[in-house]
Amino acid sequence: MNQLQLQQLTEQLSQQFFGKEFRHKAMFNDRLKTTGGRYLLRTHDIELNRRYLVEHGREELIGIIKHELCHYHLHLEGKGYQHRDRDFRALLQQVGAPRFCTPLKAVQQKKKTVTLHYYMCIDCGKHYTRKRRFDTSRYVCGICHGKLKKEGGKA
């Protein structure tokens, strides 16, 4: 699917499900990694992740376009367009758009291989497990305010 076909599909879905015209650009952004698409508030354009089309097919892409069109139309109407807003959730349900997109396989693989970092308080022996490494000279134990030392995990 090229940019022109994507634009036509987005315009067609907007007319079919929302009864409104889509007057801005819909485009693929190959730099998107973890999200299926995004609606740009300043330009009113919609960017979509091409990998969702390749990995999950046309139906998944249509769901993502409908989701982004919900943001688009509600924002232009001055209604609640954010994920937490009641207007947004109601419109998602009305048009049958997904709230979240199916994760990509590459992202799922990356989540499985998370390195954990282990720390221990020298004074009270309290153990801490963290996904991110931190500088032990800048932090103290939350229980006794003692010094922390790195135990295991990746250094």
For the residues of 24-54, what is the DSSP string, one character each? S-EEE-TT--S-SEEE-TTT--EEE-HHHHH
Is residue 77 flagged as an active site residue?
Answer: no
Task: Say if CB 65 and CB 13 are below 8 A apart.
Answer: yes
Q: Distance (Å, rounded) from C-alpha 38 to C-alpha 53?
A: 15
Distance between the two ends of the chain, CA-based, in angstroms?
A: 45
Q: Distance (Å, rounded) from C-alpha 98 to C-alpha 41?
A: 20
Which pLDDT score, from 0 to 100, does residue 154 have?
56
Which pLDDT score, from 0 to 100, does residue 155 have?
44
Which pLDDT score, from 0 to 100, does residue 114 have?
75
Instruction: Kindly report the pTM of this predicted structure.
Output: 0.71
The catalytic position among 59, 68, 77, 151 is: 68
Task: Say if CB 46 and CB 26 are below 8 A apart.
Answer: yes
* Sequential pLDDT tens for the chain (155 residues): 899 999 999 999 999 999 999 999 999 999 998 899 999 999 999 999 999 999 999 999 999 999 999 999 999 999 999 999 999 999 999 999 999 988 888 766 666 677 899 999 999 999 999 989 999 999 999 999 999 999 976 54
**Side-chain-facing half-sphere of 9: CA atoms under 13 Å:** 19
Rg (CA), the chain: 22
